[in-house]
């Protein structure tokens, strides 16, 4: 069969699907993630061009398209340049919401202007896209607001009454969806949108900060499902394939997050937060509740580092808050120049979204091979001389392994308690999201270094540089 220009949009869609598949596959490895992200962006750009070639819009439509591309592109550039790494979880939640809103608007537009001409498959797809898109949008906005600190978890959302309200809203959505399959316009259309929007708020609002990594990955999956449904609505094979891949990847990631937190998806969605606690031990981070805390100065920590042969850094959200990743990388390079073996222990849910620590350290040009996942690094802790925990809490709590009464029990954690010497860098003794004391802090080989992570790391750098190679041992002997 001969090729003609009429086949060009289909060919471009096929190439875009292949590039997108390669991009998603490349995201599975840290080393190839940046190039894979660019490949996926190229795929989306190619898909947009293919759609415009096929649609051949009018001159007036071109003006609107150009305006939309300019505004969207400008917003993307500004976001990429201005959003700090600590706000990346909120940004990802917002992007998920934008994806859900886009799918909702596409389905809404088709229902309003072409609903009478739509077939059964398109009508079902309209109902699904409206339902999932509205839940994704409202749920993502709530998640973003909670992560940003704009919205607290209301006390009334922790009562069992919320389950009845959510079930009622789900029933209304189901009924409106059945009506839309027969007649995709009219009152049922708006009932579906409003009820699904409220359901997204009702499901997400009670969930606390500890479960946010799961919520973000699940909402990402929802945005993919909504996009796939929108693909059936407009007859776009690329949207169907891309949405299905994003939806499946999001579900897999959600399961990985639940396993890493020793949580079930049902308990996350219907049980509220993992304690949902934001309280501090002893009230506001005092030492009440602890009886065997040892603290030390940055100078003492520097002495231990100078004598160590193997050092492992454990990054947590405190590192991100302090924007200390570059100081950490500088300290690690200094240790490496002294012949110290350095690596970074990465817990799947460290930070506030999946992969948060990987992205944070990649920004500071930390070598990919030094980022070691939990299962690989745990057997190495017994032969580690010094571990420095930077702002992490629940993910290093040994109670998860040995205290059946702990709410963390059964959660896979970094076994830093097996190391020879441990320094924990924190502003205070405040509890993590689980709201409980950390048994790691009271171990005999643990010393607390209180302070902002960036300030402490800079002090360590200054101390090591001022003493010089080999002089720390003389200082300790004296």
- List, for residues 364-377, the tens digit of each pLDDT value: 889 888 999 999 99
* Residue whose structure tokens are 């449904």: 229
For residues 423 and 387, the answer to whether their CB atoms sit within 8 Å is yes
What H or E segment, with its residue span, contains residue 179? helix 161-182
Identify the burial level of 74 via C-beta atoms within 10 angstroms of its C-beta, where 0-12 means exposed, 13-18 middle and 19 or more buried.
Answer: exposed
* Whole-Å CA distances, 185 to 114, 229, 395: 9, 17, 50
- Could you read off the pLDDT of 229-252 as tens digits, one per residue? 998 988 888 788 889 988 998 888
Rounded to an integer, what distance in angstroms lies between the CA atom of residue 63 and that of residue 73?
15
Rounded to an integer, what distance in angstroms lies between the CA atom of residue 414 and that of residue 382?
12
Check pLDDT > 50 for residue 126.
yes
Tell me the pLDDT band of 300, cut-offs 50, 70 and 90: very high
Check pLDDT > 60 for residue 39.
yes
- Model's pTM, two decimal places? 0.76
Question: In 3-state terms, what secondary structure has residue 366?
Answer: coil
Q: Please compute the mean of the pLDDT values over residues 177-189 and round it to a whole number.
A: 86
Rounded to an integer, what distance in angstroms lies between the CA atom of residue 373 and that of residue 392?
15
Catalytic residue among 394, 403, 417, 452: 394
Rounded to an integer, what distance in angstroms lies between the CA atom of residue 184 and that of residue 263?
39
Residue 448, phi then psi, degrees to nearest 5 = -90, 135
Highest mean pLDDT pick, 264-268, 393-397, 445-449? 445-449
71 or 183, which is more confident?
71
CA angle at residue 365 from 364 to 366, to 5 degrees? 95
- Could you read off the pLDDT of 100-110 as tens digits, one per residue? 999 999 999 88
Rounded to an integer, what distance in angstroms lies between the CA atom of residue 227 and that of residue 125?
10
For the chain, what are the domain ranges?
1-82, 86-276, 298-477
Adjacent-strand bridge partners of 341: 310
Rounded to an integer, what distance in angstroms lies between the CA atom of residue 213 and that of residue 348?
9
- 298-477 domain in CATH 3.30.1540.10? no
Residues with Cβ within 8 Å of 166's Cβ and at least 6 positions away in sequence, in order, are 199, 202, 203
- Any catalytic annotation for residue 13? no
């Amino acid at each position: 069969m001969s090729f003609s220009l009429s086949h060009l949009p289909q060919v471009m869609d096929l190439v875009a699907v292949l590039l997108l598949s390669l991009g998603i596959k490349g995201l599975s490895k840290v080393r190839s993630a940046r190039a894979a992200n660019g490949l996926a962006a190229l795929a989306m750009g190619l898909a947009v061009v293919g759609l415009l070639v096929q649609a051949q819009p009018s001159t007036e439509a071109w003006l609107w398209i150009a305006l939309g591309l300019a505004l969207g592109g400008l917003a993307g550039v500004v976001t990429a340049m201005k959003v700090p790494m600590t706000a990346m979880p909120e940004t990802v939640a917002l992007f998920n919401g934008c994806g859900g809103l886009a799918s909702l608007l596409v389905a809404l537009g088709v229902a309003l202007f072409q609903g009478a001409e739509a077939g059964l498959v398109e009508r079902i797809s309209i109902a699904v896209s409206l339902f999932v898109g509205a839940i994704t949008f409202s749920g993502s906005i709530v998640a973003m607001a909670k992560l940003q600190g704009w919205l607290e978890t209301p006390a009334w959302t922790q009562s069992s009454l919320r389950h009845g309200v959510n079930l009622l809203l789900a029933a209304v959505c189901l009924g409106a969806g059945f009506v839309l399959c027969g007649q995709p316009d009219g009152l049922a259309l708006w009932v579906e949108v409003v009820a699904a929007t409220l359901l997204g708020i009702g499901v997400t609002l009670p969930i606390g900060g500890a479960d946010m990594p799961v919520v973000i990955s699940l909402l990402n999956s929802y945005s993919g499902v909504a996009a796939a449904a929108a693909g059936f609505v407009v007859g776009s094979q690329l949207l169907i394939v891309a949405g299905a891949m994003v939806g499946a990847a999001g579900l897999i990631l959600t399961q990985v997050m639940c396993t890493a937190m020793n949580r079930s998806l049902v308990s996350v969605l219907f049980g509220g937060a993992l304690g949902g606690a934001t309280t501090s031990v002893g009230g506001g981070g005092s030492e009440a509740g602890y009886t065997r805390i040892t603290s030390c100065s940055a100078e003492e920590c520097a002495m231990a580092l100078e004598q160590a042969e193997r050092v492992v850094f454990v990054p947590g959200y405190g590192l991100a808050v302090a924007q200390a990743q570059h100081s950490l990388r500088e300290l690690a390079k200094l240790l490496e120049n002294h012949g110290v073996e350095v690596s970074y222990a990465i817990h799947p849910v460290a930070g506030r979204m999946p992969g948060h620590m990987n992205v944070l350290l990649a920004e500071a040009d930390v070598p990919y091979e030094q980022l070691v996942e939990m299962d690989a690094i745990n057997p190495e802790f017994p032969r580690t001389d010094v571990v420095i925990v930077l702002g992490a809490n629940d993910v290093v709590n040994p109670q998860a392994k040995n205290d059946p009464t702990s709410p963390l029990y059964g959660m896979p954690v970094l076994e830093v308690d097996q190391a020879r010497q441990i320094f924990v860098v924190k502003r205070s003794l405040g509890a993590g999201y689980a709201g409980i004391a950390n048994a790691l802090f009271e171990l005999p080989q643990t010393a607390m270094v209180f302070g902002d992570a960036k300030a402490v790391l800079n002090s360590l750098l200054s101390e090591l540089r001022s003493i010089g190679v080999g002089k720390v041992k003389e200082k300790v002997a004296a």
